[in-house]
Amino acid sequence: MTKKKLIAGNWKMNGSLAANEALVKALVAGVGTPACAIAVCVPAPYLAQVQTLVAGSPIELGAQDVSARAQGAFTGEQSAAMLKEFGVHYAIVGHSERRQYHGETDEVVAAKTAAALANGITPIVCVGETLAQREAGQTEEIVKRQLAAVIHVNGHCISEIVVAYEPVWAIGTGKTATPEQAQAVHAVLRAQLHHAASDHAAGIRILYGGSMNAANAAELLAQADIDGGLIGGASLKAPDFLQIIAAAS
Ligand code: 13P
C-alpha cells in the first residue's frame, strides 16, 4: 500500500498570535522532507496567520469544524467555502468535544462531511466510544453507527474522507488505547469502509487519536490499520509533534 500516513495536530482552543508563530516556525524549521502528510488544525481566527506561516512547507492547514450550511443566518459558523478561501485542506468534523458540548448528532456530522467534500476540503471524521460504552461492550456498535451515518449521506464519496478513531476515554487523559485495542477498532472500521467503498477502502486513512505522544506514537503507527494520528496536547509542543512526524516517516 502506498498511502502516506497523516499526522494531524488538533490545537483545540489553544494558541495566540505569538505562540502560534513560535510553534509553526519551529515545525517548519524542523520538519525537513517528511515521508508522511502533515496538518495543523487551528482555531478559526488564526487560519489566515497560519496559512501564511506554513506557506511553502509540507505542512497543510486544517480547521476544527465546518458548517453544514452554505451561507446565511447561522451566527458563529464558518462555511466550507470560507475555509477554502484561506487554503484550508482538512476540516475535523464530529470531534467528541463537538458532539458532547455542542450536541452534534450523527446526522449533523454527516451533513458537515458532505459540505466539506462539496468544497474540496478533506473531512477528518471522528468516531469513538465513551468509557461507559466500552465497559458495556458497545464499542463496535457505537463507532459503526457513527460511521454509518456518514456513509449513508456521502455514498461513494467516502473514499475521499479521513476517519479518526478517538476513544473518548483516551482524549486528554494520558490514557492511550493499547496498540491492540486501537487496531481492533480500526479493523472494524476498515471492514465497514470496505463494504461501502470496496475498491477504495484500503486507501482511506484511519487515524488514531487520544493521548498519542512522542513516546507511544511508533507502536501505534506500526499497526496494520493505523494510518496516522490526530494529536491534541502533543501537537502544541514542536519537539513532540516533530518526533511523532518522525515516527510516521
Ligand atoms: P489529546 O492528544 O490531547 O489526547 O487529544 C486527542 C484529540 O482529541 C485530538 O483530536
Pocket test for ligand 1, best of 11, 12, 101 (most atoms within 8 A of CB): 12
- 194 CA to middle of ligand 1, Å? 27
Q: Tell me how many domains the chain contains.
A: 1
The pTM of the full predicted model, rounded to 2 decimals, is 0.97
Q: Is-catalytic flag, 102?
A: no
Site to probe by mutation for ligand 1, drawn from 171, 175, 213 as the one with most ligand atoms within 8 Å of Cβ, is 171
Q: What is the pLDDT of residues 93-123, one digit of tens each?
A: 999 999 999 999 999 999 999 999 999 999 9
Q: How much is the pLDDT for 2?
A: 60
Please report whether residue 55 resides in a domain.
yes
Which residue range forms the structural domain that includes residue 239?
A: 6-248
Model confidence over 12-44: pLDDT tens digits? 999 999 999 999 999 999 999 999 999 999 999
Compute the distance from residue 12 Cα to the ligand 1 centre, in Å: 8
Residue 72 maps to a domain:
yes
212 CB under 6 A from ligand 1?
yes
1 domain residue, yes or no? no
Ligand 1 site, residue 209, Cβ cutoff 6 A: yes
Q: Is 210 in the pocket of ligand 1 (CB under 6 A)?
A: yes
Residue 216 has pLDDT above 70, yes or no: yes
Residue-level pLDDT at 1 = 46
The pLDDT mean for the chain works out to 96
Q: What is the pLDDT of residues 121-167, one digit of tens each?
A: 999 999 999 999 999 999 999 999 999 999 999 998 999 999 999 99
Residue 191 sits in a domain whose CATH number is: 3.20.20.70
| CB-based burial, 190-209: b 16+ in 10 Å, e otherwise | bebbeebbeeebeebbbbbb
* Residue 235, ligand 1, Cβ within 6 A: no
**Which atom of ligand 1 is nearest to 211's Cα?**
4
Q: 73 CA to middle of ligand 1, Å? A: 31
Residue 21 resides in a domain: yes
Does residue 159 lie in a domain region? yes
Q: What percent of the chain has pLDDT over 90?
A: 94
pLDDT at 247: 97
Report CA-CA distances (Å) from 226 to 5, 116, 170, 217, 247: 8, 23, 16, 11, 13
Residue 57 counted as domain residue? yes
pLDDT for the residue 201:
85
List beta partners, residue 76: none
In angstroms, the first-to-last Cα distance of the chain is 14
The reply to whether 166 belongs to the active site is yes
